[in-house]
Chain A
Amino acid sequence: MILARIDGHATSSFCDPSLKGQTIVLCTPVDEKGRSTGAPLAALDPLGAGRHAVVFITTDGSFTQKTTGHDDSPIRNEVIGLVDAS
């Protein structure tokens, strides 16, 4: 899983069916001290994390297929945890 900080969001009206109605957040992978450790990535966010919140992102596609309800969904990044302290 990836520890990341939410730095922005994106909207898309023309997308894969499994993305319809989902919130897309743009995150930067960070280490425990909050320093950026990689290129930004986009993820689904069913939990509604706030700006600059530190979150856990899964990269397991089969988990995302169950939560979006589409078994042919190619999405693999999804926020599954909000970090209180690291």
Chain B
Amino acid sequence: MKIGTVIGSVTFNALAPQFKGGNWLMVSPMGTEELTGKREFGQASTPVVYDRLGAGVGDKILYVEGAEATQPFPYPTPLDAINVALLDTFQFQPPA
């Protein structure tokens, strides 16, 4: 699972039928500098993540990329990134 900050959302006027009832987040992945507070946003590419938990802009989330992202759906789904947790708090202190 990767850690990211929600920086926006995406809306579609036409969408695959499997994706009813969820929203799509623009997520900025958090690397070591972002997690330790040296930098707020990194230069990593921004994935679009499917979300059923209702994350808003500025929330820190955990998202899963890969085939496991389709597990929660009972039918085959063309999806490779899903939000699995809204973080309340986190601590990150690598050894100096």
Contact = CB atoms under 8 A, between A and B. Distances in A.
Interface of A: 5, 7-16, 19, 24, 26, 28, 36, 39-43, 51-52, 61, 65, 72-77
A39 B92 contact: no
Interface in B22-73: 29-32, 35, 44, 53-54, 62, 64, 66-73
Contact of A8 (B1, B35, B53): B35
Give the top 10 A-B pairs by smallest Cβ distance, nearest first.
Answer: A15-B85, A8-B92, A61-B68, A10-B90, A12-B85, A16-B84, A42-B1, A76-B68, A8-B91, A14-B86
Looking at chain B's contact residues, the main secondary structure is mixed
Interface residues on B, range: 35 or more
Contact of B93 (A8, A16, A41): A8
Contacts of A61: 66-68, 71
Nearest to A34: B95
